[in-house]
Structure 1
Amino acid sequence: FFSLPKGPAEGPTAAPLLRRVDIALGCSYVGADVRGSLRASGGSSPEHPATLLLRGISVRDDGNLDDVTEYKVPQENPDSSSPIVFEVSAELVSIPHAESLLHADCEGEEVTCEISPYSSQWAGKGPCHTSWFVANLQLSGGISIVLVLRGPHCSSQGEKEEHDATLHPKLKIPMSKEGTLLTTVEFQSSSRNTSLRTHLGGSVTLNCRFALAPSSSLSSLEWKRQHQGSGRSLFRYQVGSTGPKAQPKVHVDVAELLGSGDASLSLEGVSVGDEGTYICLVSTPLHQAQHIIQLHVVAPPRVRVIPAVVSFERGVTTTLTCSIAGYYPLDVSVSWTQKTPEDDTEIPLSNARFSSHRQSRDGTYSITSYLSISSATARAPATYSCHVSHVALAEPISVSAHLMAPEQMGSEGLVGGFIATVIFIVVLFNVLRRRAGRSFKMLRHFPRGR
């Protein structure tokens, strides 16, 4: 990344302080041959090295922009093998998540950038035409950005100038004196997440935003969901219509959509059936941009071990039952360990048995694990633990049962018998005292005759 400080941007307030910088991203140019037309036949699309140079982007100055280096075009007279430099102006439409792009290297994030011709159907005819490109940016942290770029735009006055201009050796469109392709952002959309995880029964918002140049306007917004080969439309709003139909659990704030470009979709009471691939499709009269978000639904398991306390009896085999219920998705890991006072660590056990998975009406799963403890091989006292790991858990759940030694059971029996005896004596004493009191009162009421 290279950035060029150009002084603080003017604004109504001094805070936060903004700086204008240049951001250069390594990209691949795909999908076009040397004439700049879309590749129509089969086979992989040609790929060519490219650079996306975002000029004069406003970012917050956190005090770490003083040692930035100036970006310079590597080659002023490019040939057909040189990287294609797309020099982008964002005067009309701001670049979303610019700070994340600028600091991606320092934060250990990888940026994937792919540039391709948009569609030749809007290009026009004649020696002077407008070329459109689309840049797809993906940060490893989950942010996705789509930039629709307009190439050199000419009027009747500029046709002769373009005709006389130097053409790019690969794309055959006018380039600047520095050998770059001058483009302008006309339409951008972004999403903070390409993958989301939410808990069963909760609420979640699928982020999707856009911004348009003043010459463009929103045409429609549609949210779709695809899962296991089938898909359906969840929400659709056509500008100028009476408004979207009310959908249960699904909500898009139309006022925010039209006012600030917030096309985010909110889901309430998420169920297992809401899991899938969500597509945010924003359309203008000329262009479309889409973002794909994977929604994963999770539910943590409930774990119980019965019985919690086991008495040691010679010649008897006891079975511990570990019940794991209410989890989603299906994959779950269950293991058993044993630990005695002489053991420094828990000892894994491999003789557990499992039931088959069972699915409830709400889509969650359950399974049962059984561990048999034989008095011939068991050592008491000991603690037997059932450990459960699942994607919905921050850390595994462990639930234990305790195998009591015979002397422990005997001592506990003696203690219990002693306590019962004391209680019986206290109760008997109280009963006898009450009877004696009643007898004394009767003697006072009926004194002896003389």
Structure 2
Amino acid sequence: MNLGLILICGVLALKAELPVELAPGSQLRSVDVVLDCHYIEEAVGGFPGAFAGSFSSDPATLVLRGVSIADDGSLDSVTNYEAPGTNTDSASPIIFEVSASLVPVPYAESLLHADCAGEEVTCEISPYSLHLADEGPSQASWFMGTLKLSSGISIALVLKVSSDREEDDRMVVLHPRLKVPVSKEGTVLTTVEFQLSSRTPTLRTRLGTSVTLDCSFALASSSPLASLEWRLQHRGSGRRVFHYQAGDVAQAEQSMAHVDVGQLLETGDASLSLHGVGVGDEGTYICLLSTPQHQAQNIIQLQLVEPPRVRLFPELVSREGDGATTLTCEISGYYPLDVSVKWTREAPDDKDKVPISGSSTYFSSHRQAQDGTYSINSYLSINTATELGPITYRCHVSHLALEEPITASAQLRAPEQKTSKELVGAFIATFIFLAALVGLLLRRRKTVDPKSEKSLDTSG
């Protein structure tokens, strides 16, 4: 990290601590955003024995020229990019200069401040096959730039090559490898013709909730929107979820899917809303936008999760009977399938919980409910005759939907241990017995005494 970037990051850190009231005083400033990239190209006619479909990767630089960034004075030390020179041999780095005069670059501020925010930016540039309705695919002077931030933002840029030289072909200098015109400094000049972005490349939500899959775009005025299609791919099969063709009525293939066509046409918001999602809605969603010339897509992963419910029974174990007892840990209502169960035991003199494994633990088979969730039972066999003191048994359940495992416990009483309920019951039973005995004696005395007095009177 150079000194200029350190100063910028320091100012931004100070800015984050300042009151929000300063934000209205910010002004838009035009700056250059420079990104380290890789130029990816299919290896055609490479070295002998090369596999078909293999790709080459070379260092490249992407320069986003003159993007508008909100500035309240923290960008004073930012300088414009200067090309290193006019060296354009095949071994020199490939530099793409991108003008956003026709179509703005989204999330430019996040790209500029990625280093300060501790984010990683992945940048790839590759040749782009232009689709012409009448002429078929063409690959003349077009490239695709793909940017991904570790925070989850993804951006696709369709770039068209331009030139700052005279129209006379004798004045045009071609890049030795890309075979496209270059500037006087040896850089490839391009303009953004079409951009597609998303803030949610991966989403995780619970069953029955509503979720929005973000997809936004912008087009040059010379290239109108032709169609939007949302597709779902999952486990080798796919289906269309939503489709819009310019001039036609939008078609939702299922009632729970919705795209606001008004926002689609006015602001470029192609986001898909899903209501009451179920297990069948999980998978890879593709937002595919087309113009008469271009096609670009966002890929969004939707993962559904549901945490398990855990119950351990019996909660209280006595030492009666033959000494064999089975504890049942009932785990139900979870999704996806994978779940982890561990058993531990803990005696009063144990410092830590002791793991239990081996033949004393076993599982039932998985069961699937109508809503797609799963259930399973885990069993623990214990011999109460060999346990001399009070023992706590615990069932620990881990699952993708849980930040921490769920724990359920059962108690094994000590042989001499009596619960408070049993002691109260014994006291009440003893009291009732004594009361009944005293009552019986009193009734017997009243019955015997009158007879004794009558006998005495008769003898007299």
Match of 1:96 in 2: 106
Within the candidate set 311, 314, 317, 2:318 is matched to 311
In the alignment, residue 112 of structure 2 is paired with which amino acid? L
Within the candidate set 167, 172, 187, 1:159 is matched to 167
In the alignment, residue 110 of structure 2 is paired with which amino acid? S
C-alpha deviation, 1:109, in angstroms? 2.4
RMSD: 3.1
C-alpha deviation, 1:104, in angstroms? 2.0
State the Cα deviation string for residues 383-417 of structure 1 (Å, max 9, x = none): 11110000001111001111122332266422223
Match of 2:188 in 1: 181
C-alpha deviation, 1:366, in angstroms? 0.8
Query: Aligned to 2:117, what secondary structure does the other structure show?
Result: coil
Q: Is the Cα–Cα contact under 8 Å of residues 209 and 275 in structure 2 kept in the other structure?
A: yes
Within the candidate set 258, 261, 284, 2:268 is matched to 261
Q: Is the Cα–Cα contact under 8 Å of residues 221 and 281 in structure 1 kept in the other structure?
A: yes
Q: Is the Cα–Cα contact under 8 Å of residues 314 and 376 in structure 1 kept in the other structure?
A: no
Q: Is the Cα–Cα contact under 8 Å of residues 144 and 191 in structure 1 kept in the other structure?
A: yes
Match of 2:251 in 1: 244
TM-score (norm 1): 0.83
Q: Separation in 1 of the partners of 2:320 and 2:44?
A: 85
Q: Separation in 2 of the partners of 1:25 and 1:163?
A: 32
Residue 338 in structure 1 maps to residue 345 in structure 2? yes
C-alpha deviation, 1:102, in angstroms? 1.5
C-alpha deviation, 1:352, in angstroms? 1.4
Query: Aligned to 2:251, what secondary structure does the other structure show?
Result: coil
Match of 1:361 in 2: 370
Q: Is the Cα–Cα contact under 8 Å of residues 259 and 271 in structure 2 kept in the other structure?
A: yes
TM-score (norm 2): 0.81
Q: Is the Cα–Cα contact under 8 Å of residues 286 and 300 in structure 2 kept in the other structure?
A: yes
Residue 207 in structure 1 maps to residue 207 in structure 2? no
Match of 2:409 in 1: 400
In the alignment, residue 380 of structure 1 is paired with which amino acid? G
In the alignment, residue 181 of structure 1 is paired with which amino acid? V
Task: Tell me the percent identity.
Answer: 60
Within the candidate set 107, 111, 117, 2:127 is matched to 117
Q: Is the Cα–Cα contact under 8 Å of residues 80 and 170 in structure 1 kept in the other structure?
A: yes
Q: Separation in 1 of the partners of 2:60 and 2:419?
A: 81
Match runs of 1:289-438 below 5 Å: 289-313=296-320, 315-350=322-357, 351-409=360-418, 412-419=421-428
Q: Is the Cα–Cα contact under 8 Å of residues 49 and 83 in structure 1 kept in the other structure?
A: yes
Q: Is the Cα–Cα contact under 8 Å of residues 332 and 389 in structure 1 kept in the other structure?
A: yes
**Distance of aligned partners of 1:410 and 1:131 in 2 relative to their CA distance in 1, 3 Å threshold:** closer
Match of 2:285 in 1: 278
Match of 2:117 in 1: 107
C-alpha deviation, 1:421, in angstroms? 6.8
Q: Which runs of 5+ in 1 are unaligned?
A: 6-12, 36-40, 427-450
C-alpha deviation, 1:422, in angstroms? 7.2
State the Cα deviation string for residues 65-89 of structure 1 (Å, max 9, x = none): 3444553322322211111111001
Query: Aligned to 1:406, what secondary structure does the other structure show?
Result: coil
In the alignment, residue 133 of structure 1 is paired with which amino acid? F
Q: Separation in 1 of the partners of 2:368 and 2:276?
A: 20
C-alpha deviation, 1:114, in angstroms? 1.5
In the alignment, residue 286 of structure 2 is paired with which amino acid? I
Match of 2:295 in 1: 288
Q: Separation in 1 of the partners of 2:324 and 2:352?
A: 24
Residue 46 in structure 1 maps to residue 56 in structure 2? yes
Once the two structures are overlaid, the 10-residue window that deviates more, 326-335 or 67-76, is 67-76
Q: Is the Cα–Cα contact under 8 Å of residues 241 and 253 in structure 2 kept in the other structure?
A: no
Q: Is the Cα–Cα contact under 8 Å of residues 312 and 380 in structure 1 kept in the other structure?
A: no
Within the candidate set 53, 56, 65, 1:55 is matched to 65
Q: Separation in 1 of the partners of 2:429 and 2:78?
A: 82
State the Cα deviation string for residues 186-214 of structure 1 (Å, max 9, x = none): 11000112221111111111111001122
Q: Separation in 2 of the partners of 1:425 and 1:188?
A: 92
Within the candidate set 22, 34, 42, 1:24 is matched to 34
Within the candidate set 162, 170, 179, 2:177 is matched to 170
C-alpha deviation, 1:260, in angstroms? 0.8
In the alignment, residue 373 of structure 1 is paired with which amino acid? I
Q: Separation in 1 of the partners of 2:44 and 2:378?
A: 64
Q: Which runs of 5+ in 2 are unaligned?
A: 9-22, 46-50, 436-460
**Distance of aligned partners of 1:285 and 1:370 in 2 relative to their CA distance in 1, 3 Å threshold:** same
C-alpha deviation, 1:358, in angstroms? 1.4
Once the two structures are overlaid, the 10-residue window that deviates more, 197-206 or 369-378, is 369-378
Q: Separation in 1 of the partners of 2:174 and 2:348?
A: 82
